[in-house]
């Protein structure tokens, strides 16, 4: 397992101005019909268009492992990364090792910068996320959004596993290809959701037929997972994201989905 904070990574941006870069990315959206391209073709296109600058960021749910499987089996040169909040389930840390061994690939494990989490915990406590939605979002910011912002500084293309099937919010907001702003700059990043139109059945069939490695928490009743305490198993009939931050169930604020951590808000 390769643990890193983003300062250590040292990948240099391409030698073009931000304006040229943004124009190039906007051109891809405008000129190519990326919404109609299959998941596998989109991954191939990303790997060829953004050498070393296309990163698949995953928390190892079925979408992420399915895409790793697709990429590796087709020999695509994509980077794979995960955000280590320092509160992940022990099973997840073990799963990183298992994936790397099975697919002979490297997973970049991105941790928060030194001191950020410690300062937050000293100020608000380890379990600040119980106090309010604002404090939960702050915790997610410090433990994962800031790491993700750092990761995206090393990339032009962010590949994510968002699907319409996952929630109403994602149905309304996610597309197969969209431009987002890099945090704190005017530079654009192409965000791809290659499996956005895959439903549960199609994904599940792919996992079974292809023998994709499956995160062990699925067998313990977790339909999605992240940090210990904030992700819990769901009961039959509950919505998929009901197990996330259970204490907020039934709350809705200002059109944002209380079950999103901020990582996938469109910025």
Q: Which residues form the catalytic set?
A: 261
∠206-58-247 over CA atoms, to 5°? 105
Quote the CA–CA distance of 150 and 36 in Å, as a whole number. Answer: 30
Q: Tell me which stretch binds ligand SF4 (CB under 6 A): 44-52, 66-74, 112-120, 133-141.
A: 133-141
Q: Which is nearer to ligand SF4, 47 or 85 (CB)?
A: 85
> What residues contact residue 31 under an 8 Å CB cut-off, 6+ apart?
none
In the set 69, 89, 143, 191, which binds ligand SF4 (CB under 6 A)? 143
Q: Is 190 a residue that touches ligand SF4 (CB under 6 A)?
A: no
- Could you tell me the smallest distance in angstroms from the CB atom of residue 140 to ligand SF4? 4
Q: Which of the stretches 18-26, 153-161, 209-217, 226-234 binds ligand SF4 when contact is defined by CB under 6 A?
A: 226-234
DSSP state letter for 59: -
Give the binding-site size for ligand SF4 (rule: CB under 6 A). Answer: 12
Q: How far is the CB of 223 from ligand SF4 (least distance, A)?
A: 15
Among 122, 110, 120, 65, smallest CA distance to 85 is for 110
Among residues 167, 166, 173, 168, the alpha carbon closest in space to that of 62 is found at 166
Q: Does 42 bind ligand SF4 (CB under 6 A)?
A: no
Which tokens belong to 62? 């079925």
Minimum distance from residue 261 beta carbon to ligand SF4 (Å): 5
* Residue 226 is a binding residue for ligand SF4 (CB under 6 A): yes
199 near 83, Cβ under 8 Å?
Answer: no
Among 136, 148, 167, 193, binds ligand SF4 (CB under 6 A): 136
């Amino acid at each position: 397992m390769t643990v890193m904070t983003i300062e250590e990574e040292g990948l240099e941006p391409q030698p073009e101005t931000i304006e040229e870069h943004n124009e190039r990315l906007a051109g891809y959206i405008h000129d190519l019909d990326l919404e109609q391209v299959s998941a596998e073709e989109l991954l191939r296109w990303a790997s060829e268009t953004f050498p070393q600058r296309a990163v698949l960021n995953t928390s190892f749910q079925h979408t992420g492992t399915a895409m790793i499987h697709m990429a590796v089996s087709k020999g695509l040169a994509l980077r794979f990364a995960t955000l280590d909040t320092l509160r992940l389930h022990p099973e997840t840390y073990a799963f990183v090792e298992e994936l790397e061994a099975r697919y002979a690939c490297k997973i970049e494990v991105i941790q928060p910068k030194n001191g950020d989490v410690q300062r937050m915990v000293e100020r608000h406590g380890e379990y600040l996320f119980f106090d309010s939605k604002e404090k939960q979002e702050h915790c997610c910011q410090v433990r994962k959004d800031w790491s993700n912002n750092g990761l995206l500084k090393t990339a032009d293309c962010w590949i994510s596993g968002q699907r319409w099937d996952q929630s109403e919010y994602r149905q309304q907001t996610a597309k197969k290809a969209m431009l987002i702003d890099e945090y704190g700059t005017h530079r654009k990043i192409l965000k791809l959701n290659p499996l956005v139109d895959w439903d549960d059945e199609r994904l599940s069939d792919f996992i079974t037929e292809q023998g994709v490695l499956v995160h062990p928490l699925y067998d313990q009743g977790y339909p999605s997972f992240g940090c210990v305490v904030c992700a819990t198993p769901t009961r039959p009939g509950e919505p998929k994201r009901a197990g996330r931050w259970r204490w907020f169930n039934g709350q809705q604020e200002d059109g944002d989905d209380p079950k999103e951590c901020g990582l996938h808000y469109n910025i």
